[in-house]
Amino acid sequence: MHAMLTIAALEAGKHVLCEARMAMNAAEAHAMLAASQRQPGLVAQLVPSPITLGFDAAIQDILRSGKLGQLTYISVRGVGRQFPDPLGAPLHWRQDAELSGLNILSMGIVYEALARWVGDARRVMAMARTVVGLRLHPDTAALTGVRVPDHVDLLADMACGAQAHMVFSAVAGAAREPSTEFWLHGTEGTLHLDVDAGQLSLALKSEGGCMQAVDVPHEHRGFWRVEQEWVNAMRGREAVKLTDFATGVRYMEFTEAVARSAQSGQAVSLPLLPSR
């Protein structure tokens, strides 16, 4: 629906603010970007991943400072602590591939945040599993096969040179906390963001390697200003930063690469090659 309505609105000469995730798949995302490029006078914006807005600037500053040295390993978790639903539980729209496409759990929203700091992935290898394979469709009251995974593990080669391990799950009952976190490991230091607690921590090799809380002053914290940015862009006062359609295409290509890898058992390189 996002692609159809976005393209129609742009063709009708309307500015667009589209909810995330951008599209069902990479092809739809590319079509949306192309439509926006045909209308350069219109504003085309995506609702950004909000989960790290308060820390994005601080993390970017730390990385630019070189305190971490060369990034070597990145660990990301987006893991709910619930046990699997029983077979035949109601089908949520996010579990319906006809509505959500290739999007999986919190993967897209977490990856978008990570890419703001370290850039995009260049190759991914994924394994995914649908634990609750039959659910009750809300419209038909019939048992329906589920194709959207309940759990995915993936490895990625990042453009920054680090290797990343990411895990997203809705079936990891009583898993360790926090449920959403980022670890950035470098040759000289490690940075940790506990999204649940809203806590940023840093350990430096030169200072003994002990994790210490990073104080992020209120004036240095980002905040939700999506609608303000969209209106200002329409008035010519600022350009769209969070999030433009080109960024959306990149995270949708990542999402599709994960799906392709999980299905084929092979690593998938990014950016994706154009379909023939």
Residue among 263, 239, 242, 272 nearest 30 (CA):
272
pLDDT of residue 104: 96
The pLDDT, as a whole number, for residue 275 is 58
The confidence score (pLDDT) of residue 273 equals: 82
Mean pLDDT of 118-128: 98
Are the beta carbons of 184 and 74 closer than 8 angstroms? yes
Per-position DSSP letters for 42-64, written without gaps between them: S-EEEPPP-TTTTTHHHHHHHHH
Q: pLDDT above 70 covers what percent of the chain?
A: 99
Q: Using CA atoms, how far apart are residues 190 and 55, in angstroms rounded to an integer?
A: 15
Cβ-contact 261, 154 below 8 angstroms:
yes
Cβ-count burial 234-250 (b if 16+ within 10 Å, e if not): eeeeeebebbbbebbbb
Q: Which residues contact 7 (CB under 8 A, 6 or more apart)?
A: 31, 32, 35
Residue type, 21: R
Q: Are 100 and 93 in contact (CB under 8 A)?
A: yes
The pLDDT tens digits of the residues spanning 53-98 come to 999 999 999 999 999 999 999 999 999 999 999 999 999 999 999 9
Mean pLDDT over the full length of the chain: 96
Distances (CA, A) of 266 to 23, 123, 161, 262: 24, 10, 21, 8
Domains identified in the chain and CATH numbers: 2-49+225-254 (3.40.50.720), 56-220 (3.30.360.10)
**R_g of the chain computed on alpha carbons:** 20
pTM of the predicted structure, to 2 decimals: 0.95
- Which pLDDT tens digit goes with each residue over 227-275? 999 999 999 999 999 999 999 999 999 999 999 999 999 999 999 987 5
Contacts of 238 (CB under 8 A, 6+ apart): 229, 232
Residues 6+ away with beta carbon under 8 Å from 132: 84, 85, 86, 87, 89, 146, 150, 171
| Token reading at 121 | 């992935």
Q: What is the spatial distance between Cα 94 and Cα 43, in angstroms, rounded to a whole number?
A: 28
Residue listed under structure tokens 């989960």: 51
pLDDT in tens, 127-168: 999 999 999 999 999 999 999 999 999 999 999 999 999 999
Residues 6+ apart with CB under 8 A from 10: 16, 35, 36, 38, 39, 42, 44
pLDDT above 60 for 276: no
HSE, side-chain direction, 13 A CA sphere, residue 103? 25
Q: Tell me if the bond preceding 178 is cis, omega within 30° of 0.
A: yes
